[in-house]
Amino acid sequence: MQTFGILILSGLTNGSVYALVGLSLAMTYGASRVINFAQGEFVMLGALSTVLFVTTFSLPMVVGIPMVLIVCATVGFLVERLAYRPLVRRGSQPLTIMIGTLACASIMTGTALLIWGPNQLFVPNAFSLEGVTIAGITSTPQQLAIIATFAFLMALIWFMLYRTTFGLTIRAVGIDPAVATLMGIRAETIIAFSFVFSAIVGGLTGGLVGPLLGGHVSMGIMLTIKGFMAVILGGMGSPFAAAAGGIAIGLLEATVAFYGNSFYAEPIIFGLILMMLIIRPTGLLGEWEANRK
Amino acid sequence: MRHFGKLVMVGMAAASLAVATGSASAADDIVLGYVDDLSALVAEAGNDSLKGVKLAVSEANATGGVGGKKIRLVVYDGKVDTQLTSTYISRAIEDDGAVAVFGGNVSGAIPSAMTIVNEEKVPFFSMSAATDSFTNPVTPYFFRFGPSNSQDAAAVAQLISEAGLKKVAIINNSLPFGLDGSKAITAALKEKGVDVVINEVYEVNSTDVSPQVVKVRDAKPEAVVVWPYPADGGRVLRTMAQLNLNVPTVIARVALFDAFRELAGKAADGVLVPNTVDTERPEVKAMLDKLTAEFGQRPPTMYIAMGYDGAKAAIQALQDSKVQAALKSDDLPAARVALRDALESIGTFSSLQGAAGNTLKFSSQSHQGLHGNNIFVWAQVQDGKLKKADPKSFAPKN
Amino acid sequence: MSSTTLRNWLPATVILMIGAVLPWLLQGNFQLRIAMLTWVFAIFGMGFNLLYGIAGQLSLGQQAFFAIGAYTFALLQIHFALSLPLALLGGIVVCAVVGLVIGLPVLRLRTHYLAMATLMFAMIVHDVALRWTDFTGGTSGLRVPPPSLFGARLERIDLYYLVFGLAAAAYCLQIFIKSTHLGRALEAVKTDETAASSVGIDVTRYKVSIFVVAAMFAAVAGIAYALVSRGVDPSYSGIGMVVNLLTLSVVGGLGSRIGPFIGAAIVIIAPQILAGLQEYQTLIYGVGLLVFMIFLPRGIGGSIERSAEGSFDDPKGEKSARRISRAETP
């Protein structure tokens, strides 16, 4: 029983990270129909700018983290304004836009390399890294904070999308930007918002997992791929589907590693996702999107 | 605007062509190439080795170079990209006229690099990439200055069997370093009659590795061997502490990096690390002090010592009369062959790696410089710092 | 000679001439290596171009076939001592079969789902290549025996012409496929699958055929790469490989005939030019790529062909891009 609890908690922790990357990918995709290859780089930026503000500038955490989020929001804004928008205006093909975001990833990595250098860095922790035992299961406050942040963001996004007028406009743009524009919605603003919002989520994720994963300039790409997996398993239709996909992968990883074979756990999970896609071609929860196409 | 854009592109293309073709080299220098990861996942090792090489080269140049010629280092960042690394090696050889090339902290990039240097007949000084098959069988131009996986593994196995421990668990990441390392250790432990009760693998980007650690704990090992990268190693040790898995622990050389010790915190206290650098040896100390003066503080990693050893060996081999004769007559291919021969007949070469008096030995039968039982000096983590360890301290805690 | 024929074969002649005389213009093995790598990646790009540029099927898993082709090529020579041409053929056949087996279920998926499914497949291949040490050699991979053809050992220059010959053959095959019924049917599939099937096009069959063809192109590229690097290792199926493939395809121009050649040359040569910038190179590479995409969204090949042919380039492709990727205020 205790073991089972540890597995669930571990799955939720890893899953929350994938879900956070996945839901930010889905937010951008929902508004812009672009898979943002630079999404994982925001996690990197979040982790490393925490090092900058908290370790290098010795700012307290409560000041440092908002600064990190401002940095990420700014970069997210720039990606939309300097890469996405010019590319769309020139009628680029979707793949070309994707390569545009890949170029952004390269720019971010390249800049981070100049600022932080190539070594793996310790990212200061906002919460304690010492173990706490609750009901026989040991975890750390930092780890629990990741899960809590994810849950909070889910609630926030739900509220924003379904309980505010602004959320209604986001969903309208997600369904058809041309019609939304006719309704007087500024589609471009919504798309810009989705980039900035995703960047903030990425930055927050980085600040939270940094103390556990360590900060490294090249950590982004693998996280982007984990986010892809979450989005694909859940479905690209909505941030909630993507988040569900992320959690599912986290739990799957923990279970396969524990009950199955940890040596082949990774290819097994890729295989399961591939099989799931073949059975349900638009993700577990993706019907909604498929019907729209 | 569109036309302007095109013009810019054409201009850029033309300018880049000009740059590509116009790489001149000063013929008066002796050129050494350095191609390794300087910016991606293995960059910390790559940069450390580079610093070691730079230090040895600047020492040689300060005393007038070799045979009146200065040594010039050309450096390329191959990242962890196999294709790029090979292409840069071939570029260092051809365009820059390198007499030898250094590199090799990225094991994935070695196989195709090896083909190139053997085909072009240029000595390659390989650093920490530990896969055994790189030097066994011997290929004509590939020399290794770091320990091989089986040497690492043998040392770990000896430590464990001497402590009288019979049941061992291995936990490693799924990068080539972790997979190859665990394979070698399993083999070495088997040879010593030690049982590997469980071998767990985790992915390097897992924020939580407790499923694997629980399995390790439940297998009730008497000792644990961890073969990670720096940050994930920290996570494994933290999780072990959290789950009360409190047995003697050995961790791979990556624990020499600061990031590991900072991430692991107190959980790393007491773990042993196989290092080849004995910080108590005066000549090692002197070298590290000089390195600190020139490049800033670095932990005493084996990567630095490998680079320094390799460059020192190259410089000594360059002084060989045949090499000098070939260099004087500007016969680069002959100089490379002569350099290789000189390296093979260098006999014993005093090394900064290993215990005091340890030597590197190359011959036509062996291109694995480190050998024997004196290679490793155990380091121990204590309060976030590294200190020289007594292997006898590797015993069950009560 | 009709204008279409001219359009197809003029670039072919130019490429053929450049390829044939290149060894005399280049100095040494480094430049020869760069040239060979360009041909290798051009073959790789041509396969992708058929699949995505023409048929509109986005695969992020071509590197799997690149690797499977190369591993098969190596294994057949090591274990069965097959000659080079037979091993080459074997690699292509194995990839075609794997392509068929994977393609049949996977091609039911559309757009990004197809992209991700193929990416998952490639990651399985990569992980297995890394882990199944006894079969694949693990990290260190496998060595390919020194290449020889009909008993004669191939020198560097022969190897160059072999790789170049493969690229030239791939180009002709690409042109041929585009000009056949298959090519036209695929264009229709790209524009609108439902409409295509309503006029009697067997959409699934065509999609699977082109997927298999692209897998075979990737196999040839992988084998050529194995010949150049004398071995094969897990990096063949790594993420870096597909990033290079996508970049070269877009930079060269999606759907462009000569695009893969230009794109491959740029992707291979750019890091060599940027090497002198040391730690600034990643940043500059990214900025260069972004500026390039913004000013030449059709890639170099696409832009050349467009200006040479007036109204060439499919407005349909553009429209569908708008539909998927969001346009600004109409």
Which of B249-263, C182-196, C236-250 shows the lowest mean pLDDT across its residues? Answer: C182-196
For chain C, how big is the Rg over CA atoms in Å?
Answer: 20
What is the arithmetic mean of pLDDT over A161-181? 87
pLDDT recorded at residue A281: 79
Query: Å from A155 to nearest chain C CA?
Result: 27
Query: Å from C155 to nearest chain A CA?
Result: 38
Contact between chains at A266 and B214 (C-beta distance less than 8 A): no
Contact between chains at B83 and C37 (C-beta distance less than 8 A): yes
Could you tell me which chains touch chain A, where touching means 3 or more CB pairs under 8 A?
Answer: B, C
**What angle is formed at CA B234 by the lines to CA B296 and CA B154, rounded to 5 degrees?**
90
Which positions in chain B touch C294 (Cβ < 8 Å)? Answer: 5
pLDDT greater than 60 at residue A123: yes
Element (H, E) at B378: strand B377-382
Angle in degrees, 0-180, between the axes of helices B82-94 and C259-274, rounded to the nearest 10? 60
Query: Å from C186 to nearest chain B CA?
Result: 31
Nearest CB among C30, C130, C273 relative to B16 is that of C273
pLDDT per position as a tens digit, B96-142: 999 999 999 988 889 889 989 998 999 999 999 888 889 988 999 99
Q: SS3 for B141?
A: coil
Chain B positions touching chain A (beta carbons under 8 Å): 38-41, 43-44, 46-47, 174, 199-212, 214-215, 218, 229-232, 234-235, 238, 241-243, 257-259, 262-263, 265
Query: Å from B19 to nearest chain A CA?
Result: 22
Please indicate, yes or no, if residue B7 is contained in any of the structural domains.
no
Confidence of residue B356 (pLDDT cuts 50, 70, 90): confident
In chain A, domain spans: 2-292
Which positions in chain A touch C284 (Cβ < 8 Å)? Answer: 110
Element (H, E) at B332: helix B332-344
Contact between chains at B263 and A121 (C-beta distance less than 8 A): no
Which positions in chain A touch C250 (Cβ < 8 Å)? Answer: 95-96, 99
CATH of the domain at B128: 3.40.50.2300
Confidence of residue C321 (pLDDT cuts 50, 70, 90): very low
Please indicate, yes or no, if residue B1 is contained in any of the structural domains.
no
Average pLDDT, chain A: 90
pLDDT per position as a tens digit, C266-306: 999 999 999 888 889 899 999 999 999 999 888 888 888 77
CA distance C237 to C63: 5
**What angle is formed at CA A31 by the lines to CA A30 and CA A37, rounded to 5 degrees?**
75
Which residue has better confidence, C79 or A132?
A: C79
Please indicate, yes or no, if residue B5 is contained in any of the structural domains.
no
Of residues C93, C97, C202, C75, the one with CA closest to residue C144: C75
Contact between chains at C282 and B75 (C-beta distance less than 8 A): no
Q: How many domains would you assign to chain B?
A: 2
pLDDT greater than 80 at residue C322: no
Query: Å from A57 to nearest chain C CA?
Result: 24
Residue B231 and residue B136 in one domain: no
pLDDT per position as a tens digit, B189-236: 999 999 999 999 999 889 999 999 999 999 999 999 999 998 899 999
Residue B154 and residue B300 in one domain: no
Please indicate, yes or no, if residue B185 is contained in any of the structural domains.
yes
pLDDT recorded at residue B398: 55
Nearest CB among C110, C120, C326 relative to A88 is that of C326
pLDDT recorded at residue B14: 47
Please indicate, yes or no, if residue B46 is contained in any of the structural domains.
yes
Nearest CB among A29, A96, A178 relative to C297 is that of A96
Which positions in chain C touch B18 (Cβ < 8 Å)? Answer: none
Q: If contacts are CB pairs under 8 Å, which of residues 176-215 in chain C contact chain A?
A: none
CA B98 to chain CA centroid, Å, is: 21
Which of A36-45, A149-158, B175-184 shows the lowest mean pLDDT across its residues? Answer: B175-184
Confirm or reject contact between C187 and chain B (CB < 8 A): no
CA distance B102 to C268: 23
Contact between chains at C127 and A89 (C-beta distance less than 8 A): no
Q: Which residue has the tokens 């399961």?
A: A272
pLDDT recorded at residue C193: 83
For chain A, how big is the Rg over CA atoms in Å?
Answer: 19
Average pLDDT, chain C: 86
CA distance C43 to C164: 10
Please indicate, yes or no, if residue B15 is contained in any of the structural domains.
no
pLDDT per position as a tens digit, B56-91: 999 999 998 898 899 999 999 998 888 899 999 999
Of residues C284, C234, C273, C270, the one with CA closest to residue C41: C270
Average pLDDT, chain B: 88
Nearest CB among B202, B210, B230 relative to A262 is that of B202
Query: Å from C179 to nearest chain B CA?
Result: 30
Confirm or reject contact between B93 and chain C (CB < 8 A): yes
Please indicate, yes or no, if residue B6 is contained in any of the structural domains.
no
- Token pair recorded at residue A258: 């524990």
Strand order of the β-sheet with B272-275 is B195-202, B167-173, B223-227, B249-251, B272-275, B377-382, B385-388
Strand C142-143 relative to strand A137-139, pairing: unpaired
% pLDDT > 90, chain B: 61
Domain that holds residue B217: 150-275+377-393
Query: Å from A249 to nearest chain C CA?
Result: 13
CATH code for the domain defined by A2-292: 1.10.3470
Alpha carbon distances (Å) from C148 to B139, C145, C152, C154: 21, 9, 5, 5
Contact between chains at C327 and A95 (C-beta distance less than 8 A): no
pLDDT recorded at residue C112: 83
What is the arithmetic mean of pLDDT over C122-141? 90
- Token pair recorded at residue C33: 């290596």
Confirm or reject contact between A1 and chain B (CB < 8 A): no
pLDDT per position as a tens digit, C9-67: 787 788 888 888 888 888 888 899 999 999 999 999 999 999 998 888 999 999 999 99
pLDDT recorded at residue C311: 40
Contacts of residue B370, Cβ cutoff 8 Å, sequence gap at least 6: B144, B145, B146, B147, B148, B151, B276, B351, B353, B354, B358, B360
pLDDT recorded at residue C312: 40
Confirm or reject contact between A75 and chain B (CB < 8 A): no
Which positions in chain B touch A139 (Cβ < 8 Å)? Answer: 242
pLDDT greater than 80 at residue C324: no
Confirm or reject contact between B180 and chain C (CB < 8 A): yes
Residue B155 and residue B115 in one domain: no
CA distance B261 to B268: 7
Confirm or reject contact between C134 and chain A (CB < 8 A): no
Strand order of the β-sheet with B98-103 is B71-77, B30-36, B98-103, B124-126, B142-144
CA distance B254 to B292: 20
Confidence of residue C309 (pLDDT cuts 50, 70, 90): low
Residue B385 and residue B251 in one domain: yes
What is the arithmetic mean of pLDDT over C138-167? 88
CA distance B163 to B149: 21
Query: Å from A124 to nearest chain C CA?
Result: 26
Confirm or reject contact between B131 and chain C (CB < 8 A): yes
CA distance A34 to B349: 59
Mutate to test the interface with C, among A106, A113, A224, A269 (most CBs of C within 10 A): A106
pLDDT recorded at residue A261: 85
Of residues A82, A73, B79, B41, the one with CA closest to residue C287: A82
Residue B347, judged by CB atoms within 10 A of its CB (0-12, 13-18, 19+), counts as exposed
> In this structure, are residues B255 and B271 in contact, taking their beta carbons and an 8 Å threshold?
yes
CA distance B238 to B231: 11
For residue B332, how many other CB atoms are within 10 A of its CB? 16
* 3-state SS record for chain C: CCHHHHHHHHHHHHHHHHHHHHHHHCCHHHHHHHHHHHHHHHHHHHHHHHHHHHCCCCCCCHHHHHHHHHHHHHHHHHHHCCCHHHHHHHHHHHHHHHHHHHHHHHCCCCHHHHHHHHHHHHHHHHHHHHHCHHHHCHHHCEECCCCEECCEECCHHHHHHHHHHHHHHHHHHHHHHHHCHHHHHHHHHHHCHHHHHHCCCCHHHHHHHHHHHHHHHHHHHHHHHHHHHCEECHHHHCHHHHHHHHHHHHHHCCCCCCHHHHHHHHHHHHHHHHHHHHHHHHHHHHHHHHHHHHHCCCHHHHHHHHHHHCCCCCHHHHHHHHHHHCCCCC
Name the CA dihedral angle for B258, B262, B264, B270, rounded to a multiple of 10 degrees.
70
Which positions in chain B touch C140 (Cβ < 8 Å)? Answer: 107, 110-111, 131, 133-134
pLDDT recorded at residue C10: 82
pLDDT recorded at residue A101: 94
What is the arithmetic mean of pLDDT over C131-150? 87
Which of A85-89, B97-101, B202-206, C149-153 shows the lowest mean pLDDT across its residues? Answer: C149-153
Confidence of residue C2 (pLDDT cuts 50, 70, 90): low
Which positions in chain B touch C295 (Cβ < 8 Å)? Answer: 2, 5-6, 8-9
pLDDT greater than 80 at residue A127: yes
- Token pair recorded at residue B324: 């000098």
Please indicate, yes or no, if residue B389 is contained in any of the structural domains.
yes
Scanning chain A, the segments in alpha helix (DSSP H) are 2-32, 39-50, 61-79, 85-89, 94-116, 141-163, 165-175, 177-182, 187-213, 220-234, 239-259, 265-279, 287-292
Confidence of residue A268 (pLDDT cuts 50, 70, 90): very high
Residue B135 and residue B192 in one domain: no
pLDDT recorded at residue A287: 52
pLDDT recorded at residue C100: 96
pLDDT recorded at residue B397: 66
**What angle is formed at CA A63 by the lines to CA A62 and CA A65, rounded to 5 degrees?**
75
> In this structure, are residues A34 and A101 in contact, taking their beta carbons and an 8 Å threshold?
yes
Provide the b/e sequence for A68-90 (b: ≥16 CB within 10 Å): bbebbbebbebbbebbbbbbbeb
* 3-state SS record for B286-327: HHHHHHHHHHCCCCCCHHHHHHHHHHHHHHHHHCCHHHHHHH
Mutate to test the interface with C, among B17, B83, B86, B116 (most CBs of C within 10 A): B83
Confidence of residue A15 (pLDDT cuts 50, 70, 90): very high
Residue B92 and residue B229 in one domain: no
Q: Is B278 left (phi over 0), alpha (psi -120 to 50) or beta?
A: beta
pLDDT per position as a tens digit, B237-267: 999 998 889 999 999 998 999 889 988 999 9
> In this structure, are residues B135 and B366 in contact, taking their beta carbons and an 8 Å threshold?
yes
